[in-house]
Amino acid sequence: MQALRHYLLAVQFFTRLPVTGRLAAWVGYSPAMLRASSAHFPGVGWLVAAVAIAIYAALWQALGGPQGGSQGFVPLVAAVGSTIATVLVTGGFHEDGLADVADGLGGAYRRERALEIMKDSRIGAFGAMALVLALAAKLALLAHLGSLGLTCVLAALAGGHVLSRLWPLAVVRALPHVGDTATSKSKPLADQITGAALAAAALWCFLPLALVWQALGAHVLIAAVLASALGAAWMLWRFARRLQGFTGDCLGATQQVAEIGFYLGAAIALAR
């Protein structure tokens, strides 16, 4: 029951799915519980992936799917609908983090000024460019994977959404929290994440990655995981170099880059 409460708290914190009323009262909240819920962040990706897969497949079937050798715009339309659905489920939580990080790192060289910009809720030029390019990359890759077959894109959605939510925990493990401790929602996560929590988070990734292996092959799985890890490692390096730590926005940005990296790695492996 305690594990279920921690999982539902993660769902409540990172999605717009309703955990309210008597259910929310049963789940409860404390900083210690939020720290414990970090082990279930990839499990939240299961729900987001389920929505993405359902919408993509439904639009694919509603539009008749690619007929013969002509792919048309069916994969693109399905990719747009699927992405809209995931943004609605998460409230654009991670995309907002990506935009804030781009504004901070792109708009200032000094660490203090970058952190100040990241706290501003308004979006700037760097944030807008990052958001547009990230969404464009995601849509293009999902449409391309869809053009290779429905199985390809659905397996990639399952793996990408789950694994990309593991890497932010590595950022928390590796770096100190440097946000405003008085107002930051991610501050309870700043305390050291235990090895047991990381192991539990990794276990959430096992089944979706096994699905990618079964559906697309070991070479696609290796390429996708490697590209996702490289994207997360690059973000970690940037945060360590420019900020000497992380904020909640950094975790969202890491998730977005790692998700896109997974799709890119899968697409490259399938092309070869």
pTM score, two decimals? Answer: 0.93
- The owner of tokens 């799985």 is 221
What pLDDT does 102 receive?
95
Close Cβ partners of 39 (under 8 Å, ≥ 6 residues apart): 6, 196, 197, 198, 200, 201
In tens, the pLDDT along 138-159 reads 999 999 999 999 999 999 999 9
Q: Report how many domains make up the chain.
A: 1
Amino acid at residue number 107:
G
Q: How confident is the model at residue 3 (pLDDT cuts 50, 70, 90)?
A: confident
d(CA 65, CA 55): 13
Close Cβ partners of 135 (under 8 Å, ≥ 6 residues apart): 83, 95
Name which residue leads in pLDDT, 192 or 230: 230
Q: How confident is the model at residue 68 (pLDDT cuts 50, 70, 90)?
A: very low
Range of the domain at 215: 2-271
Positive or negative: CA dihedral 165, 211, 231, 260: negative
Q: At what angle do helices 218-242 and 150-163 cross, to 10 degrees?
A: 40
Q: pLDDT averaged over the chain?
A: 89
In tens, the pLDDT along 214-227 reads 999 999 999 999 99
In tens, the pLDDT along 71-122 reads 678 999 999 999 999 999 999 989 999 999 999 999 888 999 999 999 888 8
What pLDDT does 44 receive?
94
* Averaged pLDDT for residues 29-42: 81
In tens, the pLDDT along 186-196 reads 556 656 688 88
